């Protein structure tokens, strides 16, 4: 696998009012041919729309607030990755540098959507609500008219905080995942949504169903991202799963498996499903009718249990993970699965990632590769292959 070194030179511009949390260049991959429109399914209540302008989708005024630098960084990245997406979709293959860009695209799309932001707010909102509620009960704060309710408060700047806090570590952990292109069988198509990255862990969903194990470093981790009506990226733990034959890429999957992938997309979506043709409306209608019951509210990521006394409670937070209605045919378990220590896919590499992130926190302005060289104590290209888990600069 390859980690590509990239440098950006950005001239900061005034903050845009209309900010997209799913970029337009990505949604254009699913546009109606010859237009700048796509078909839309608003999920609840269900409403199917033949044609809707792309520039009106997945956008919110000042979504990133006044963080002009972040908005410009995202725009620069979008300009860089848009031609990569087009080439991969047209050629149905990727080279190592394109794969590096696709990995980062998956990480950014996982973090920057409105649903991802709302998920990140669940735990701090609960804690803040309880603290203020307790202060009101003690008479330290005045109760607002109509009573104190959790929905009365909100947090801003979460999208930027998430991107800055987790993008590097998640991208580095992506280096130990395999990747295949899934190609839809003729007559079937992938859909996408306003929260297009699907994270799951098929392995631990059966072993420990009360935990999600959808962290990027976990053994058994899987990530799906549709990139065109006929193609979907599938990242997976190569020590646990095998996808198609060894050299098969893309992997053509059946209509039944395409339906499973689309079901996961429906479960991941916040409000809308997007697809490339009004002719696909009957299939999308059936998709929603069949799978809507599997959708979970954002609040389900937090569970509260009774503590040892009436005054105590235990909060359990987990990332929601979609459910497969039945096993798919294209992804199978290895006969001898390798699960790392502490259920991490590659503990030594994860330790390196943690050290890099800590070093970057201590030295603002230092680059990722500069930090890795500092930790290793030698130029990165000359580093011992075993110390870098065998495949930093070579394709696996």
Question: What would the mean pLDDT of 146-173 be, rounded to a whole number?
Answer: 80
> Where in 1-135 does DSSP place strands (E)?
18-20, 37-42, 47-53, 59-61
* Greatest mean pLDDT among 133-137, 153-157, 269-273, 368-372: 269-273
Per-residue pLDDT at 7 exceeds 90: no
Structure tokens at 304: 């509260």
pLDDT score at 213? 64
Q: Please name the residues in contact with 147: beta carbons below 8 A apart, sequence gap of 6 or more.
A: none
pTM of the model: 0.86
Per-residue pLDDT at 47 exceeds 70: yes
pLDDT score at 40? 98
Q: Please name the residues in contact with 251: beta carbons below 8 A apart, sequence gap of 6 or more.
A: 180, 181, 182, 183, 234, 243, 244, 330
Which residue has tokens 């079901």? 263
CA–CA dist 60, 56 (Å, integer) = 9
Per-residue pLDDT at 198 exceeds 60: yes
Are 276 and 39 in contact by the 8 Å Cβ rule? The answer is yes
**Residue-averaged pLDDT of the chain:** 84
Nearest to 229 by CA among 174, 292, 293, 279: 279
Question: What would the mean pLDDT of 38-45 be, rounded to a whole number?
Answer: 96
Question: What would the mean pLDDT of 170-179 be, rounded to a whole number?
Answer: 94
Per-residue pLDDT at 174 exceeds 60: yes
Per-residue pLDDT at 78 exceeds 70: yes
55-59, 251-255, 261-265, 311-315: least confident range: 311-315
CA–CA dist 54, 185 (Å, integer) = 26
Are 222 and 199 in contact by the 8 Å Cβ rule? The answer is yes
Confidence band for 209, pLDDT divided at 50, 70 and 90: low
Q: What angle do CA 271, 276, 278 make, to 5 degrees?
A: 85
**Higher-pLDDT residue of 48, 73:** 48
74-78, 164-168, 385-389: least confident range: 385-389
Q: What is the pLDDT of residues 246-263, one digit of tens each?
A: 888 999 999 999 999 999
- CA distances to 63, 75, 151, 205 from 59, rounded to whole Å, are 8, 14, 22, 33
pLDDT score at 230? 97
Q: What is the pLDDT of residues 213-226, one digit of tens each?
A: 678 999 999 999 99
Task: Break the chain down into helix, strand, coil percent, rounded to 5.
Answer: 45, 20, 40
pLDDT score at 266? 97
pLDDT score at 66? 60
pLDDT score at 375? 84
Q: List, in sequence order, every residue forming a beta bridge with 331; answer none if it has no partner.
A: 243
Question: What would the mean pLDDT of 153-164 be, rounded to a whole number?
Answer: 72
Question: What would the mean pLDDT of 163-170 be, rounded to a whole number?
Answer: 82
pLDDT score at 269? 96
Share of the chain above pLDDT 70, in %: 87
pLDDT score at 14? 44
Per-residue pLDDT at 6 exceeds 50: no
């Amino acid at each position: 696998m390859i980690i590509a070194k990239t440098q950006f030179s950005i001239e900061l511009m005034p903050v845009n009012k209309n900010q997209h949390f799913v970029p337009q260049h990505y949604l254009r991959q699913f546009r109606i041919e010859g237009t700048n429109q796509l078909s839309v399914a608003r999920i609840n209540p269900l409403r199917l729309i033949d044609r809707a302008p792309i520039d009106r989708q997945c956008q919110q005024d000042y979504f990133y607030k006044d963080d002009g630098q972040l908005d410009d960084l995202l725009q620069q990245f979008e300009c860089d990755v848009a031609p990569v997406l087009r080439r991969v979709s047209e050629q149905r293959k990727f080279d190592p540098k394109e794969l590096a860009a696709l990995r980062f695209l998956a990480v950014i799309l996982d973090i920057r959507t409105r649903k991802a932001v709302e998920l990140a707010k669940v735990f701090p909102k609960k804690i803040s609500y309880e603290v203020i509620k307790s202060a009101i009960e003690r008479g330290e704060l005045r109760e607002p008219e109509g009573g104190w309710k959790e929905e009365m408060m909100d947090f801003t700047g979460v999208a930027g905080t998430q991107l800055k806090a987790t993008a590097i570590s998640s991208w580095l952990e992506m280096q130990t995942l395999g990747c295949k292109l899934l190609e839809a069988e003729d007559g079937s198509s992938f859909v996408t949504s306003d929260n297009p990255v699907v994270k799951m862990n098929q392995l631990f969903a059966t072993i420990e169903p009360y935990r999600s194990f959808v962290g990027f470093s976990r053994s058994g981790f899987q990530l799906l991202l549709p990139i065109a009506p006929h193609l979907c990226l599938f990242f997976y733990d190569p020590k646990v799963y095998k996808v198609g034959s060894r050299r098969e890429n893309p992997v053509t999957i059946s209509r039944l498996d395409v339906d499973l992938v689309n079901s996961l997309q429906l479960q991941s979506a916040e409000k809308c499903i997007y697809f490339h043709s009004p002719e696909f409306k009957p299939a999308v209608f059936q998709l929603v009718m069949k799978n809507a019951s599997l959708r979970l509210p954002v609040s389900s990521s937090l569970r509260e249990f009774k503590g040892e006394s009436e005054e105590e409670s235990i909060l359990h937070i987990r990332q929601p993970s979609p459910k497969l209605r039945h096993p798919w045919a294209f992804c199978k378990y290895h006969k001898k699965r390798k699960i790392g220590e502490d259920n991490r896919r590659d503990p030594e590499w994860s330790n390196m990632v943690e050290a890099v992130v800590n070093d970057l926190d201590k030295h603002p302005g230092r680059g990722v590769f500069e930090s890795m060289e500092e930790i290793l104590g030698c130029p990165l290209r000359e580093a011992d292959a075993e110390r870098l888990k065998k495949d930093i600069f070579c394709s696996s």
